[in-house]
Amino acid sequence: MLGFLLTLLIAFSVLSSVNKGATHDFTNLLAEGTKAALSLCLTLAGSMAFWGGISRSAEKSGATTPATHIIGKPLGRLFSGLNDRETLSLITLNVTANMLGMGNAALPLALAAMKRLKRQDGCSGRHTALFLILNTASIQLLPVTTAALRSRHGADTPFDILPASLATSAAALTAGLIAAMIFFPKEERS
């Protein structure tokens, strides 16, 4: 459906430019937009590759182990009843990557954790809801992607959004967790 809508919008744009005799403007805008989009993608890809490499190196060297243990303890309580340590480990790594602002590095971890959650016998709708909230409304200690975008567009201090980012993500996470606790009360085990 989205592909059809996109095709329809592009066809409408081309026909409108031909109808108004502005094909030269249309092609210039198309070239400028493509150049800007490609430049932005390369900038973000470089930033994500750098931080993804740092993250992978830290993981391989064991530097993430203390953070995983610190974050893993409250997550273990939050996901009580989930007996699979591998799933909890994936959730912890996902939350850690999100906290460091590396959403692209966190995505494969999120997908793997969700697959494992779906296969769990002891997994409830509450576990799935909690994980989705933690993944989407995570607290970002380092908003790397946003800072890279701000830097690309000329911000002198791209990380000056840190207080607003922390406050917003903490509020969203708190609201989401409260909603999950209300809508998915703790299930009794039989």
- Give tens-digit pLDDT for 41-92: 887 787 677 766 776 777 678 776 776 778 878 888 888 877 777 888 888 8
- Among 148, 146, 140, 141, which residue's Cα sits nearest to residue 47? 148
- Give tens-digit pLDDT for 127-144: 888 999 988 888 878 777
User: Among the residues of the chain, which ranges form H helices?
Assistant: 2-20, 23-61, 65-78, 85-99, 103-119, 125-136, 144-152, 162-183
- What's the predicted TM-score (pTM) here? 0.63
